[in-house]
């Protein structure tokens, strides 16, 4: 079985979206900000030329997974995200292979996507997000 998988974005934990002027200085188009209540974060997206985006993540509550991540490790790369088609089938395959999922069922994420997170223990050390556009 094969799945279409492309790098969608790199997520960076930051105390404040305003603190990320660097990406504006680069001239990356600002795709706007969005709140994701399920993760207690405000996210800002910047587009790069090969379609992959930079996703900045600012916690909106001390209970946010992003706040907890920064408490432990400071600001920095939090996850990488692959855009997939057939997320439900892929999740089934991953579970069968014993890959450790953080959420077993896809849940709503930014940009009207359904997302699943894979534990860093199963990926070589980085949190991986799988994302599928909800309306496809």
Choice from 20, 41, 56, 81 touching Zn ion (CB under 5 A): 81
State the Cα–Cα distance between residues 105 and 21, nearest whole angstrom: 35
Cβ atoms of 25 and 19 closer than 8 Å = no
First to last CA, the chain: 20
Stretch that binds Zn ion, among 20-28, 66-74, 80-88, 89-97 (CB under 5 A): 80-88
Cβ proximity to Zn ion: between 81 and 91 the closer is 81
Does 116 sit near Zn ion (CB under 5 A)?
A: no
Q: Which of residues 22-61 bind Zn ion (CB under 5 A)?
A: 55
Looking up tokens 């996703």 gives: 55
Interface ranges with Zn ion (CB under 5 A): 11, 55, 81, 129
């Amino acid at each position: 079985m094969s799945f279409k998988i492309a790098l969608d974005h790199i997520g960076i934990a930051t105390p404040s979206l305003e603190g990320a002027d660097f990406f504006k200085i680069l001239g990356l188009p600002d795709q706007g900000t969005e709140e994701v209540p399920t993760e207690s974060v405000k996210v800002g997206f910047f587009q790069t030329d090969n379609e992959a985006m930079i996703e900045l993540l600012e916690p909106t509550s001390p209970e946010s997974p992003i706040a907890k991540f920064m408490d432990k490790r400071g600001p920095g790369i939090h996850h990488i995200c692959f855009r997939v088609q057939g997320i439900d089938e892929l999740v089934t395959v991953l579970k069968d292979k014993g890959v450790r999922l953080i959420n077993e069922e896809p849940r709503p994420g930014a940009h009207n996507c359904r997302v699943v997170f894979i534990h860093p223990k199963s990926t070589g050390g980085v949190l991986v997000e799988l994302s599928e556009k909800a309306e496809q």
